[in-house]
Amino acid sequence: MATIGNKILELESLEQIVLQKEQIDLDEQALKAVTDCFTFLTDFSKDKLIYGINTGFGPMAQYRIEDEARIQLQLNLIRSHSSGMGQLLSPLQARATLLARLNTMMRAYSGIHPHVVQLMADLINHEAYPCIYQHGGVGASGDLVQLAHLALGLIGEGNFQFRGSIVKAQVVYETLQLQPLKVHIREGLAMLNGTSSMTGIGAINVVHARKLLTGQILFSLMVNEIMEAYDDHFSEELNAVKLHKGQQTVAAAMRVISHKSKLMRKRHEHLYEKKVTESVLEDKVQEYYSLRCVPQILGPVYDTIEYTAQIITQELNSVNDNPVIDYKNANIFHGGNFHGDYVALEMDKLKIAVTKLAMLADRQLNFLLNPALNKKLPAFINAGVLGLNFGVQGMQYPAVSNVAENQTLSNPAYIHSIPNNNDNQDIVSMGTNAALLCARVIENTFEVLAVHALAIIQAISYRDIVGRLSPATRWMYDELSILAPAFVEDTPSYERLQAIKQWLMETEVGEKMKKLLGFE
């Protein structure tokens, strides 16, 4: 059971709650602070004109709202902005959105009734998620449309994703014996003004990007093992003189993972300690860049992922309301904490880095499939009859297609601000668009790696080198070859590829590696 409130919610904890469905409870001290903030706002707002409590919203804030209409004002805001279109957020993305909104509200700067946070915690624990649509937010006054749909579910309206089906909110509340949210003072505005949807989606993106990086480091090493490449390109001596943390981290990981491999060659043994007399060498003195430059290519990817993780963690634990209800200093502050630029920029950077990772995987895949390049494998790693059978040939197309789509999607959303809201929102972040595009690039890349993994399994089997792999890469081979064994005859491959994709998305490969290599 994870406790929300009074401490930083780290991405590792978010992963357990969102992906592993860990239950949550609320910190009692933080819950008391939420109550204190609500009590302060209730008292402070009497006989005062306060934005979003007794005024209209945005460009209509100059209109004062009578006290008897204040509750209806909040409901009108929620209902009017529940205008989302397109596909629904996935259950994981909706769960992450709920958690992100809950976490920021537990900071006690929102002025909301404590029932709001308790209800969100209950819905998370029962895996009941209001239907939230992908299209609609511009990421400036927060994720207005996405969070409006979240709020719509909280007040007992709209639909939910619940137990594998789309059901009416009323059915969910009756089934779970919960009471929908009753608006007290500013729960509508408090729910809508925030970056929680882009942040929740962004957090999942970081978690998945880390899995992609771990997988691609392993696959890169396996390709080097298949080719019996020289190991000095990830040596400490070579990489220590290039002063980038990511490059050095990737190189160090490759050294550890390759420990006890019987396939990697030492340059000094083959070229320096014996006299080379051939005029033309059969083996390359230096490998192709996709094999040799892995630390230099994946190093920036590592650095980007980890910086993005830092920014997402900061946003996840920030107060992103407007206005901010500061009960400790007995004041209310207006500003733009709901603006999503931090998340938008990081999502654009992350999807560019992941696209480059996919490009590296694609080039390594192409290398394995082309005998003119690798000189050790038949065309398309075809273990059958050349010309009659096709090997991995038909599987390369979806990999190439996904990489091409990633390259198109990697144009930045961060700089595509379009003024709206009667020009009140005259510069916006497009943060949720950026996070969703990044998520699509990441999922595409899992598909690229699925094809790459299948080709690697086929190549290792064809070369009959399983017993010479390092313990780490042997573990990866054993796990994946259960899902996609090496083959001779042509059969439909879509189910095998989907199984590998799901395995890569769900398996904690990094943790398995730590245990296997003795780091725990």
- Catalytic residue numbers read 51
Written as six digits, the tokens of 392 are: 């991995």
Q: Is the dihedral of CA 298, 302, 303, 305 positive or negative?
A: positive
Question: For residue 178, what is the DSSP state?
Answer: -
Written as six digits, the tokens of 510 are: 């990094």
Question: For residue 89, what is the DSSP state?
Answer: P
Helix (H) or strand (E) holding 304: helix 294-316
Question: For residue 54, what is the DSSP state?
Answer: S
Closest CA to 104 of 4, 25, 3, 28: 4
Burial of 232 (0-12, 13-18, 19+ CB in 10 A): middle
Closest CA to 481 of 462, 492, 490, 468: 462
Written as six digits, the tokens of 318 are: 């920030």
Q: Are 405 and 354 in contact (CB under 8 A)?
A: no
d(CA 402, CA 452): 12
Q: In which residue are the tokens 């207006």 written?
A: 334
Alpha helix segments (H runs only) across 126-274:
144-154, 169-176, 187-192, 196-226, 236-240, 245-257, 267
Q: Are 376 and 467 in contact (CB under 8 A)?
A: no
323 preceded by a cis bond (ω within 30 of 0): yes
Sequence-separated (6 or more) residues with CB below 8 Å from residue 176: 122, 126, 128
Sequence-separated (6 or more) residues with CB below 8 Å from residue 412: 348, 434
d(CA 192, CA 116): 13
Q: In which residue are the tokens 């245990």 written?
A: 515
Written as six digits, the tokens of 14 are: 């978010």
Q: Is the dihedral of CA 426, 427, 433, 435 positive or negative?
A: negative
Alpha helix segments (H runs only) across 375-493:
393-409, 431-463, 471-483
β partners of residue 3: 25
Beta strands in 271-320 (DSSP E): none
How far the first Cα of the chain sits from its last, in Å, is 23
Q: Is the dihedral of CA 104, 107, 108, 109 positive or negative?
A: negative
How remote is the C-alpha of 234 from its chain's centroid? 28
